[in-house]
Structure formats: structure tokens, C-alpha cells
Amino acid sequence: MLDAARAANYHGIVAGTRKTTPGFRLVEKYGMIVGGVDAHRYDLSSMVMLKDNHVWSTGSITKAVQAARLAAGFSLRIDVEVQSQAEAKEAIEAGADVVMLDNMVGDQLVQCARELKRDLGQKHRFLLESSGGITLANLKQDAHLDQAIDIISTSAIHQSTQHVDFSLKIDQK
């Protein structure tokens, strides 16, 4: 995945998601790091990720970010999952550190990312993350590689990797 992104001249962060195989998180995260890919979040305490349920339960993206900032303090980044450019703008203006443009593809993704950087990039400090359905097959043909996208995150890095089939035999003497 990293090699494909670099071959396509993408210079941003390529990251695996937190969604790892039960019992193998340490191994899969280590594999990502050794392979040159960012491990994104090691676990739920590594970064605050606000999803739709968090926004719904607090009443707005702004209120969710404010509540998260109170709990996280200055030391943890806040990543907000959004579905539209309007939601992304609200998250940025509320103080989100990372805005995940979830399941946006093609021209919608590129236009949204470029406009957010153009309109808000001078006033606010934020990273834009593309996530949702990104695979090696669609990485090169989709817009995820646009330079306005700071982070590409996908579980395909570790969940689509073929495992090594081995067994341990005990020799009984």
C-alpha cells in the first residue's frame, strides 16, 4: 500500500486502522511500523475519535469537540469523522485536529479537501484524512492520492494481508 502510494507520487501519511485481529494487535501494529506505515491509533486511548454517535449524543459536532477537548486536554488529538464538507468545516472551526472525510471518493473528495485547505487552512491548523473502503486495487484509480489529503487510513493494510499457515509439531519420544 505504501509502495503504491509513493509510486503514485503521494507524499502524505499512509496509516493502518485500529481494527486489528483479536489477539494480534501488537503483531499487526509492529508489522505496520516495520513496513513504514503509520499505526494510526494503537488503541482507544491513543487519540479521541468522534463518530456519528458521539455527535448525536452531544447535539452537534461543535459540542462533541468541545466535550472531547475538556476530557483529552492538550495532549491528545481529536479526530472527527464527517460525511460532508459542511460537517468538515464545523469540525475544523470547532478545533478538531484531524478531520476524517469518511467514504468520500472521486471528485467529491478532491473538491472537498481542496476547498477546506483553501478556505480554512490559513486560519486553522488541521489534517485531512481519507478513510473508508480504500484498498490497493482502488488506491491508484481513486482520488485518495490528492496532495490535499494528509492521511490515508485503511484496514486493508493488515486485514487483507495473507497469513502464513504454519503449525508446531511436538516430537514424542
The residues carrying an active-site annotation are 19
C-alpha cell at 169: 509439531
Q: In whole angstroms, how far apart are CA 96 and each of 5, 62, 109, 129?
A: 26, 9, 19, 12
From the list 13, 106, 92, 11, the residue with the least C-alpha distance to 50 is 92
Sign of the dihedral through C-alpha 73, 13, 145, 120: positive
